[in-house]
Amino acid sequence: MSLYDISANLNNGQEQSLGNYRGKVLLIVNTASQCGFTPQYKGLQELYAKYRERGLEILGFPCDQFGHQEPGTDTEIKSFCELNYGVSFPLFEKIEVNGENAHPLYKFLKSEKSGVLTEGIKWNFTKFLVDRRGKVVKRYAPATAPAGIARDVERLLVARAAA
């Protein structure tokens, strides 16, 4: 199974095959609107604005498994992100990232890049960087600011240009 065999529902309920992102560099993030890391939405949007035209897609997956920090509906989450952070990258329906009900995407991501001491997602805003071939190349801790990922994103985008 590859990343491109997985589908997820966009925030509006429409099913989206991750195969639609083939050839793109992906930054996949589990998000929450009432978390100490929530201001990272701003940095994620800045990365998206800077690199989207070169092939970056950021995919946001709201999750309420950590401290009940994403209690809203999908509509409320989208509105919050747009109004407070100008988010224009794709947001998906709220999912679970750990446990038996974990979304297949997160089962895949965790199997490709486990965390320190555990495979599980430890908190909101854990980030996975995926290259244009669908290979998970790096996992970032929640405290890693989006600006701290920019160099790695740039490398993957440049690698395509050199190929």
Q: Annotated active-site positions, please? A: 35
User: What is the number of other CB atoms lying within 10 angstroms of the CB of residue 121?
Assistant: 23
User: What is the number of other CB atoms lying within 10 angstroms of the CB of residue 9?
Assistant: 15
* Rg of the chain, C-alpha, whole Å: 15
Instruction: Give the whole-angstrom CA distance, residue 90 versus residue 120.
Output: 24
Look at residue 10 and give its three-state secondary structure.
strand
